[in-house]
Amino acid sequence: MNIKFLTADDISKLMDCSKTKAYGIIKELNSELEQQGLLTSKGRVNEQFFAKKFGFENI
């Protein structure tokens, strides 16, 4: 099992946005995961979930 989590630095590079915006994205995605009953890690988001939501096939 190879699970990877993205940080705000990773997301800011992928999305070409500020780290503040990246933290906002992480917060939104983690909130959605929590509503599904899943546990999250503050400041990180599951890579596969991020890729699915933003249309990235291979990060």
Each of the 59 residues of the chain gets a pLDDT tens digit; together they read 677 999 999 999 999 999 999 999 999 999 999 999 999 999 999 999 999 999 987 65
| Per-residue model confidence (pLDDT) at position 2 | 78
Rounded-to-integer distance, Cα 12 and Cα 17, Å = 5
Under DSSP, is residue 56 helix (H, G, I), strand (E, B) or coil? coil
Report the predicted TM-score, pTM, of the whole model to 2 decimal places.
Answer: 0.88
Beta bridge partners of 44: 7
State the pLDDT at residue 6.
Answer: 97
